Amino acid sequence: MSAARAPLPRPDPPGRRRSAAGAPVPDKRRLILDAAVRVFARQGFHACRVSDIADEAGVAYGLVYHYFASKDEVLNTLFLERWNVMLEHIREVDAKPLPVREKLAAIAAFIIDSYRHDPDLMKVIIVEVTRAANSFGQTHLAEIRTAYELIGGIVAKAQADGDFKDEIEARFAAMAFYGTIEQLLTGWIFGLLPQGAEEFERAKWLVVETVCGGLEHGGEGARRSREGPAGAHQHARGGAAK
């Protein structure tokens, strides 16, 4: 139902109560959401009880139901908060006059940084929503589809400009791009891939290079990526990246 009360990440509720000193009194609703992220990430949505969330938040059981209509709504809220921020970011990137590679790099960077800064939240989103076709995946199909379509639009424009070849449908290219990123996150979540500041930075470059340039020795593709029009990024960071 009305799950998207807070479309932005950790938005400070307007007119929040404050203590005498002026410091914001801890927002219990936020407390519950943050606790839920930890509990969902640790035990999984289905395996955890609502009381686990309340305990983790240091709050009475009933309060969860004061702020949320159901356990589902807690997850829905978490997902929409983050997903909408991502959609907004993709739209902003798309609107800028950047080369495709940089647009895609910006999107990859955003998602990877999201994981870097809040792995638990991204774990929950991917494991419990994005891939959980039955319950929540169906609910948020529209939002998920929008992301694919925005990325597909970026690819399509690149094709129209002659930067990408036409043989691969933009819709498909979008799936390859997003699928690669999500698989990366999954690898980190499952502990199948090493994690660390260096790996995260390198991954941003790898995603773009793989999807744009391919695994084979490329002529232009590889050369083009070596420069980087904005010049602002050094991909292969200091030496031993293996």
Burial zone of 138 (CB within 10 Å; 0-12 exposed, 13-18 middle, 19+ buried): exposed
**Length of the chain as a residue count:** 242
Residue 169 interacting entry, from DNA, a copy of itself, none, C-beta within 5 to 8 Å by type: a copy of itself
* Residue from 35, 56, 71, 209 binding DNA (CB under 7 A): 71
Residues 86 and 84: their CA atoms lie apart, in Å, by 5
Q: Is 49 in the site for DNA (CB under 7 A)?
A: yes
Which of a copy of itself, DNA, none does 192 bind, CB closer than 5 to 8 A by kind? a copy of itself
User: What's the CA gap between 101 and 91, in Å, rounded?
Assistant: 15
Looking at the Cβ atoms of 49 and 91, the one nearer to DNA is 49
Give the Cβ contact number of residue 189 at 10 Å: 19
- Rule CB under 7 A: say whether 61 interacts with DNA: yes
Which residues are at the interface with a copy of itself (CB under 8 A)? 43-44, 46-47, 123, 126-127, 131-135, 137, 141, 144-145, 148, 155, 158, 163-165, 167-169, 171-173, 175-176, 178-184, 186-187, 189-193, 203, 206-207, 209-222, 224, 236, 241-242
Residues whose CB falls within 8 Å of the CB of residue 126, separated by 6 or more in sequence, listed in order: 182, 185, 186, 189
Which of DNA, a copy of itself, none does residue 49 bind (CB under 5 to 8 Å by kind)?
Answer: DNA
CA angle 157, 184, 171 (to 5 degrees): 25
Query: Which CB sits closer to DNA, 66 or 91?
Result: 66
Closer by beta carbon to a copy of itself, 61 or else 190: 190
Euclidean distance between CA atoms 188 and 119, whole angstroms: 9
**For residue 179, how many C-alpha atoms fall within 13 Å in the half-sphere facing its CB?**
9
Q: Per-residue x/- marks for DNA, 72-91, CB under 7 A?
A: x-------------------
Residues that bind DNA (CB under 7 A): 17, 28, 48-51, 59-63, 65-66, 70-72
